[in-house]
Structure 1
Amino acid sequence: MANIRHASKAPTALPQARDTETGLLHSAIFLSYLLLSLALLGALVRLVRGPTLPDRVVALELMASLTVAFIGIYALNNDRPAFLDVAMVLALTAFLTAVGFARYLEKGGHRGDQ
């Protein structure tokens, strides 16, 4: 028989390069969590301080959007794509809530700045 070499797999990246890519991904995810946490803290301050109801509604909408981002990053980090469905439902619910508040304020609801 002839000595034939079969290529069983395509060439892969060096282990060192793979470790660098993994480390970079983990650093980016950590930075994302950190920045989202700071933004959530700022939105919480705006929610508490107000001063008007529309300010509080916008802060709640921002908090819902940041929570959707948290869920998306968690799904990416832990390889759980089912959580993306949860994020989508939360985003749609937050949108409908914002529309409801806007209609309430438009119809002459309590604004707090009058």
Structure 2
Amino acid sequence: MLDTVAWIVLVILSVAILLCFIRMIKGPTMFDRIVALDLLGITMIGFVGMLMIIQDTLVYTEILLVLGILSFFGTVALSKYMEGGVIIDRDSD
């Protein structure tokens, strides 16, 4: 029963990833694309987590951590760039 539910969730997450990718491509504004990119990263984390549950392994734990870190830093960097155009402030004292 749990295996069937896990596969159903995996299919739903696959559809969500496809829809996020479409929104990232067709988004009317850059801010919509940034939010879609962040949601794509979070959904990918859920997808890999479900693969770990289905395969009954902990092999992909490092992939989850890397996806989370890259998703967070990518969202912060793009948002900061859209806000002011400068990602890293370097003070030349």
Distance 1:88 1:74 in 2: 15
What is the 5 A alignment of 1:70-109?
70-108=47-85
Is 1:48 aligned to residue 48 of structure 2? no
The Cα shift of 1:27 comes to: 0.9
Partner amino acid for 2:13?
A: L
When normalised by structure 1's length, the TM-score is 0.69
Whose relative contact order is higher, 1 or 2, with alpha carbons under 8 Å and at least 6 apart?
Answer: 2
Aligned residue-pair number: 86
For 2:57, give the aligned amino acid.
R
Where does residue 3 of structure 2 map in the other structure?
Answer: 26
Matches of 1:96 and 1:83 in 2, distance apart? 20
Query: Which runs of at least 4 in structure 1 moved beyond 3 Å after TM superposition?
Result: none
Residue aligned with 2:11, SS = helix
Q: Secondary structure of 2:60's match?
A: helix
What does the per-residue CA deviation read over 1:14-67, in whole Å, with 9 as the maximum and x for residues that have no partner? Answer: xxxxxxxxxx11111111111101111211221121111111111111111111
Give the unaligned 5+ runs of structure 1.
1-23, 110-114
- Partners of 1:58 and 1:104 in 2: how far apart? 14
RMSD: 1.4
CA distance in 2 between counterparts of 1:33 and 1:76 reads 10
Partner of 2:44: 67
User: Over alpha carbons, which structure has the higher Rg?
Assistant: 1
